A and B are shown apart, each in its own frame.
Chain A
Amino acid sequence: MSLSTLTKDWEPMSYGFLDASAKREIRRKMLKAVAVPGCQMPYASREVPMARGWGTGGLQVSLTLINPKTTVKVIDQGADDSVNAASIRRFLSRVSGAPTTLDTLDADLIQSRHRIPEEKLREDQVLVLQVPNPEPLRPVQPNMSIARQMHADADYGRMWLQLYEQIVRSGRVMQGASYPSMVNGRHVMTPSPIPRWDVPKLHMAKHLTILSAGREKRIHAVPPYTRVEPLVFDDVPYKVEEHGDLTCFRSGAKGFFMNEIPQDDGSSTYEISDSEYGVKTIKQAEGTETAFGESWYQDGEMS
């Protein structure tokens, strides 16, 4: 044994920013998260050059998975061009040399804040979702030790009660985003604040989804072909947002999740939330040859 075998050559920076021990820890926790779908696994959550709560959890997972051949797409509420998405995408590519893309079809790794792209993800793609609050029980049980015990006991009675009270008070389930969902029939998870529109996309999906909360230091996963069932009562069916009939005012795309843009006269116009899908629709209308993947929703209906 000599000094040269015990040390590594000097590098200006660890590849992919995270040091090797941080990556190993996240790898171990990711394996456990996949082995127990929907169960929150604690991890250390290292410092990255970004404030906690801005996607540091997703970023650490992406930095662990990335290599120079991984094509990366980053979206923020469906948009590739928001400041958060553009900054994360540039950071990922700078520290790893990985190519970036805006097109869902070209991506190997998709890091997303609060949306799942409209085109179906393939078996070889990995979706990394940024999670602000990984604990679905927090509204009904703020003490996280007790919440952990409730998960251990599969004690989700209060969760159902919360949904019931919403229906009694308001006539419908008021949960708009991060709709609590039962994974593999055992653990209730938050699918991160994706709209209700996106939750069915996780059910028996072809792709692997990893959800990581950097500030809360927990990671959970939905493996491919895993049951993800939103909590609903038998007589009150699960409803997605009524966006099936809306048309994007810019691209003319119809039947997808839309951003509502309030107008001066009190009315609203709508713009497609998956920005690259909108761009592709415009390109096609202009006569450019454009490849579309099969979408989860067709004519506003989940297929």
Chain B
Amino acid sequence: MLSAPIPSVEETRANQAFDALLGSLSRPGQIRKLPGAGEASIIEALLDRECRVFCADPTLMPQVLESGAMVADIPEADHVFLGTMQNAESLLSVSQGSDLYPDDGATVIVRTVLGAGPKVRLSGPGIQTHQDISISGLPNGFWQLRQDLIRYPMGFDLFFVDGDQVLGVPRSTKVEEL
């Protein structure tokens, strides 16, 4: 008889982090809890040597390099860690994939403050009617630029991280500034 397998600490963390990411992306506007503060558990759950990563925050670099991912500029990166955004222009060159392969669109992770600041209204898949969220720490014109850039099904998917909280906004979500 085999004994019941026990997940390692890393496996448990990656599993929990992915659970939070999947939950927050499939229900945009709902905040989920990562197993630890910051982007560390996201890197652990998603990145390996098949990925190309842009990292604006040098403190994340050691972990990204340890994962084996290749370091790239924003246009080539499939995972873009923008840290705290200073200006919205970083979004201009984020990879959006193609109509043939929408999955080539990047995953963008931004540090923000959730539950405070300007309100936006989200609607679309994953939201029954609409969901209002407060989010601050984003540069001026962020939402407008996102809307101008995304030509669904091309586009990029956003995760906003605040401590151990994460909130997902996939490209399918319509965002209205209130």
**A and B form one complex:** yes
| Cα(A223)–Cα(B157), bound, Å | 15
Contacts of A191 on B, CB cut-off 8 Å?
Answer: none
B139-164 interface mask toward A, CB cutoff 8 Å, 1 = contact, 0 = none?
Answer: 00000000000001101010000000
> Is A225 a contact of B127 with CB atoms below 8 Å?
yes
Interface residues of B (CB under 8 A from A): 2, 4-8, 10-12, 14-16, 18-19, 21-22, 25-27, 45-48, 50-51, 98-103, 105, 107, 124-128, 152-153, 155, 157, 170-172
Contacts of A35 on B, CB cut-off 8 Å?
Answer: 25, 105, 155, 157, 170-172
> Is A153 a contact of B99 with CB atoms below 8 Å?
yes
> Is A184 a contact of B172 with CB atoms below 8 Å?
yes
> Is A31 a contact of B25 with CB atoms below 8 Å?
yes
Contacts of B7 on A, CB cut-off 8 Å?
Answer: 15-16, 67-68
Contacts of A123 on B, CB cut-off 8 Å?
Answer: 27
| Cα(A190)–Cα(B10), bound, Å | 36
Cβ-closest 10 pairs across A and B: A97-B4, A152-B99, A35-B170, A226-B125, A32-B103, A15-B7, A223-B126, A223-B26, A41-B103, A35-B157
Contacts of A97 on B, CB cut-off 8 Å?
Answer: 4-6
| Cα(A226)–Cα(B19), bound, Å | 20
B63 CB to nearest A CB, Å: 12
A214 CB to nearest B CB, Å: 17
* Neighbour of A36 across the interface among B10, B18, B100, B171, CB < 8 A: B171
> Is A32 a contact of B99 with CB atoms below 8 Å?
no
| Cα(A227)–Cα(B125), bound, Å | 8
| Cα(A208)–Cα(B155), bound, Å | 21
A85 CB-CB contact with B under 8 Å = no
**Closest Cβ neighbor of B4 among chain A residues:** A97
Inter-chain pairs besides A15-B8, A34-B170, A68-B7, 10 sampled, C-beta below 8 Å: A21-B48, A24-B46, A27-B45, A34-B22, A42-B103, A65-B19, A67-B16, A95-B5, A184-B125, A223-B26
Contacts of B171 on A, CB cut-off 8 Å?
Answer: 35-36
> Is A225 a contact of B8 with CB atoms below 8 Å?
no
> Is B5 a contact of A96 with CB atoms below 8 Å?
yes
> Is B14 a contact of A20 with CB atoms below 8 Å?
yes
| Cα(A126)–Cα(B86), bound, Å | 38
11 contacts between A and B (CB under 8 A): A14-B11, A15-B11, A21-B48, A27-B18, A27-B45, A30-B22, A39-B102, A42-B103, A184-B124, A208-B22, A226-B125
| Cα(A42)–Cα(B155), bound, Å | 17
Contacts of B107 on A, CB cut-off 8 Å?
Answer: 28, 31
Known: A31-B107, A32-B157, A35-B157. A208 touches B5 (CB 8 A): no
| Cα(A35)–Cα(B124), bound, Å | 11
| Cα(A227)–Cα(B27), bound, Å | 14
Interface residues of A (CB under 8 A from B): 8-9, 11, 13-16, 20-21, 23-25, 27-37, 39, 41-42, 64-65, 67-68, 94-97, 123, 148-149, 152-153, 184, 186-187, 204, 208, 221, 223-227
Contacts of B27 on A, CB cut-off 8 Å?
Answer: 123, 223-224
| Cα(A15)–Cα(B5), bound, Å | 6
> Is A39 a contact of B15 with CB atoms below 8 Å?
no
B44 CB to nearest A CB, Å: 9
> Is B153 a contact of A32 with CB atoms below 8 Å?
no
> Is A223 a contact of B125 with CB atoms below 8 Å?
yes
Contacts of B4 on A, CB cut-off 8 Å?
Answer: 68, 97
> Is A11 a contact of B8 with CB atoms below 8 Å?
yes
Known: A31-B25, A31-B107, A35-B171. A224 touches B126 (CB 8 A): yes
Contacts of A224 on B, CB cut-off 8 Å?
Answer: 26-27, 126
Contacts of B8 on A, CB cut-off 8 Å?
Answer: 8-9, 11, 15
